[in-house]
Amino acid sequence: MTAMRRFEGHGVLITGAARGIGAATARRLSEEGAQVLVTDVDLAEAEKTAAAIRERGERAEAFTCDVGERTSVEVAVAYAAHTFGSLDVLVNNAYGCSPDAPLFEDEPDEAWARDLDLTLTGAYRCCRAALPHLVASGRGAIVSIGSVNGLQDFGNHAYSAAKAGLVSLTRTLAGHAAPRGVRVNLVAPGTVRTTAWEGRDAELEVASGLYPLGRVGEPEDIAAAVAFLASHDAAWITGTTLCVDGGVLAVNTGFRQALWQRGDS
pTM of the complete model: 0.95
For residue 230, give Cα distances in angstroms to 14, 86, 161, 199.
Answer: 12, 15, 25, 33
124 catalytic, yes or no?
no
Would you say residue 50 lies in a domain?
yes
Does 150 reside within a domain?
Answer: yes
Question: What CATH number does the domain containing 105 carry?
Answer: 3.40.50.720
- Determine how β-strand 183-189 pairs with β-strand 141-145: parallel
Could you write out the DSSP letters of every residue in 87-130? --EEEE-----PPPPSSGGG--HHHHHHHHIIIIIHHHHHHHHH
The verdict on residue 174 lying in a domain is yes
Among 79, 95, 124, 163, the one annotated catalytic: 163
Domain presence at residue 6: no
Residue 48 annotated to the active site: no
Does some domain include residue 134?
A: yes
Within a domain: residue 100?
Answer: yes
Q: Of the given ranges (33-42, 97-106, 230-239), which has the lowest mean pLDDT?
A: 97-106
**Catalytic pick from 79, 95, 159, 211?**
159
pLDDT at 260 over 80: no
Q: How confident is the model at residue 264 (pLDDT cuts 50, 70, 90)?
A: low
pLDDT score at 179: 98
**What does the pLDDT look like over 195-205, one tens digit per residue?**
888 889 899 99
- The answer to the question of residue 95 being in a domain is yes
pLDDT digits (tens, 9 = 90+) for 57-71: 999 999 999 999 999
**Count of domains forming the chain:** 1
**Residue 80 maps to a domain:** yes
Domain extent at residue 39: 11-262
